[in-house]
Amino acid sequence: MQGKIKTQYTGLLLIFVMFFSTFAFAIINSITPYEPEVTGAPDQPETIQRYLNRPLTQTEKTSLIQNQIAILEFSHTKDCAKCAEYRTVIESFYTKYPNILVVDLEGDKDSIQFVGKETQPITDLNPENLLDAYCKVSAVQTKECLLKNI
């Protein structure tokens, strides 16, 4: 009989330990939730700088265009008289569209062009001409581009 009582107490003790260990585990997890360690690349894409003062490599250009980013190349001489005005127009334009990257470089001559699925030079810099060129080169047609065609 003593062996039977000892077995019953042992069984009750195991049930008691299992129940309260589950209860304790739940309380500990509610206080400090599990956060898995990130070991690979994050799920969110890396944000890119949208205004560059350096030339792009051909690989970078290809990658950007494949990811549907239009590149606005602004090349100017060192003594550019209208650069401040041009930068203001460009900045007010590119901030409206998330898939534009501006490359501002000092060069031999003043030129502005959009590069995307094709290259579109801009001769007279104003918001309307920028939008026209952007709509021609952009793989992603914005509502402004779509409304122009109506």
How many structural domains does the chain have? 2
Q: Does pLDDT of 35 surpass 80?
A: no
Q: Are residues 83 and 23 in the same domain?
A: no
Q: Reply yes or no on whether the pLDDT at 46 is more than 70.
A: no
* pTM score of the predicted model: 0.64
Tokens 């070991």 belong to 39
Is 108 contained in some domain?
A: yes
**Domain-embedded: residue 45:** no
9-11-14-18 Cα dihedral, nearest 10 degrees = -130
Kindly state whether residue 41 falls inside one of the protein's structural domains: no
Residue 46 lies inside a defined structural domain of this protein: no
- Give the pLDDT of residue 44: 46
- Say if residue 64 is in the same domain as residue 131: yes
Q: In this predicted structure, what is the pLDDT of residue 72? A: 93
**Host domain of residue 26:** 1-34
Q: pLDDT tens for residues 87-118? A: 999 999 988 888 899 999 998 888 899 998 89
Residues 122 and 71 placed together within one structural domain of the fold: yes
pLDDT tens readout for residues 20-31: 888 787 787 777
Contact 110, 76 (CB under 8 A): yes
In a domain, 42, yes or no: no
Overall average pLDDT of the 71-77 stretch: 92
Taking residues 29-43, what's their average pLDDT?
58
67/133 same-domain check:
yes
Domain holding 127: CATH number? 3.40.30.10
In a domain, 67, yes or no: yes
Examine residue 39 and state whether it is found in any structural domain, yes or no.
Answer: no
Are 86 and 130 in contact, with CB atoms under 8 Å apart? no
Same domain, 102 and 72: yes
Q: Average of pLDDT values for 41-45?
A: 49
Same domain, 57 and 131: yes
Same structural domain for residues 133 and 60?
Answer: yes
